[in-house]
Amino acid sequence: MASMEYKGYIAVLELDAENSVFHGSVANTRDVITFEGSNVEDLRREFESSVDYYLEVSAKHNREPEKPASGRFVVRLTPEMHRELIKLAARSNKSLNTVVRETLQERVHQELADIDG
C-alpha cells in the first residue's frame, strides 16, 4: 500500500482499478479526511487541499485540529516483557523510555529501508 505525507498527516492510498481512480484517507487522525484523484499529481493536490481545508475548518470553529502524532502512546506488554525491558534498561544504564524508543527507532528504520529497497 502506498502513502503520502503532508504537514505530518499520513495518507494511505488505494487504487479503484474498475473506476480508474485513486482513493486516499488520512491514517493518523481519528477525524475523517478523505480525497481522490485520477492520477498521482491530482491525488497529491487533493490530499494537501483536504488537509489544509481540515485545518481551516478547525480554526474557523475554534477547534484544535487533531495532531497527527503527539509523540506519546501507550503500549500494553506482558508482565514478563515489562520486567525484561526494565532489566535491559538497568544493565544499559538507560531509562526504560530510552530503551523502548531506541529499539523501536532501530526496527522502524530497518523495516522502512527494506520496504524502500
pLDDT at 68: 79
Q: Name the residue ranges covered by the structural domains of the chain.
A: 2-60, 79-116
CA atoms within 13 A on the CB side of 111: 6
CA–centroid distance for 78 within its chain = 25
Read off the C-alpha cell for 36.
481522490
For 78-98, the pLDDT digits (tens) are 999 999 999 999 999 998 989
Which residue in the block uniquely carries the three cell numbers 520486567?
83
pLDDT at 48: 97
Axis crossing angle, helix 96-116 with helix 79-92, rounded to the nearest 10: 100
For 2-51, the pLDDT digits (tens) are 889 999 999 999 999 999 999 999 988 889 999 999 999 999 999 999 99
Task: Give 35-40's long-range contacts (Cβ < 8 A, gap of 24+).
Answer: 35/11
pLDDT at 73: 81
